[in-house]
Amino acid sequence: MPIRQFQAQRMRAPRDFQPIDSTPICVEIGAGKGKHALLFSANHPEFQLIAVERTREKFVAMQKQHQLEGQNNLTPIHADALPWVVHALHPAQVQQFFILYPNPEPHNPAQRWLNMPFFEFLLSRLQSGGQITLASNIPEYIEEAQQQLIDVWKLPFVKERIAETSARTHFEIKYLERGELCQQLIITKPVDYTTRFDDFQPLQGKQPTEVSAE
Ligand SMILES: C[S@@+](CC[C@H](N)C(=O)[O-])C[C@H]1O[C@@H](n2cnc3c(N)ncnc32)[C@H](O)[C@@H]1O
């Protein structure tokens, strides 16, 4: 089934929105309490990582741990990732996206990341050759995402089994301890890939009325 076009210009600015500069960055969506974000930024000082989390208490836990560890290449953001991405990110700015153990949305398949029209917008923010890592403990979630990559998004990917010793996130630790199969898709954006949002500039906190009046 074809996916309708995402209405980016209708996204209201996140509360207390702060613009970011346009240098290359990595972005984690749904970072939880920030275990992966803290590890990744400590192990990769050459990358700038922005870690977005919608749930306040988890964001606060990430922020507190970040204050203790002090990585200056990590920026935790408390926001819903959809409006934040539309308002903050420039086309082809992102080197890597991480979406690790997203909510499975059992009663709302349309809210899974690769089923959303927003996914096309996300792809427009990714550099050519950039990657999206999508991890899940639910085999059907991975299979569905894989099928969407083939049928809708026409993107190359590799599927990997996550090692039992891996401990990148709180959810990963919990699922692997229970003996569950954890898998990830590493999705790559080809050089000649285009989307309908490639010229869409970040809204930078403007509200929809200001955008449509331009
Ligand atoms: C199952 S948890 C996984 C957290 C973390 N990645 C981990 O593996 O431990 C999914 C997280 O995604 C966050 N989330 C879901 N939708 C989001 C959105 N639109 N924007 C930002 N965060 C979101 C939820 O608040 C939740 O913390």
Residue 121: inside a domain: no
HSE-CB of 82 using CA atoms within 13 angstroms: 15
Integer angstrom CA distances of residue 166 from 134, 159, 172, 174, 201: 15, 16, 8, 11, 37
Residue 53: inside a domain: yes
Asked if pLDDT for residue 171 goes beyond 90, the answer is yes
Alpha-carbon distance of 37 to 35, in angstroms, equals 6
Site to probe by mutation for ligand 1, drawn from 60, 65, 103 as the one with most ligand atoms within 8 Å of Cβ, is 103
Instruction: List, for residues 114-161, the tens digit of each pLDDT value.
Output: 999 999 999 999 999 999 999 999 999 999 999 999 999 999 999 999
Number of domains in the chain: 1
Instruction: Label residue 209 by pLDDT band (50, 70, 90).
Output: confident
Report whether residue 14 contacts ligand 1, using a CB cutoff of 6 Å.
no
Residue 98: inside a domain: yes
Residue 178: inside a domain: no
Q: Supply the CATH number for residue 72's domain.
A: 3.40.50.150
Report whether residue 53 contacts ligand 1, using a CB cutoff of 6 Å.
yes
Residue 205: inside a domain: yes
pLDDT at 121: 98
Strand partners, 74: 49
Considering only CA atoms, which residue is closest to atom 13 of ligand 1? 30
* Range(s) of the domain holding residue 59: 23-111+157-167+187-214
Residue 48: inside a domain: yes
Q: Please state the atom number of ligand 1 nearest to the C-alpha of residue 58.
A: 27
Instruction: List, for residues 40-75, the tens digit of each pLDDT value.
Output: 999 999 999 999 999 999 999 999 999 999 999 999
Residue 182: inside a domain: no
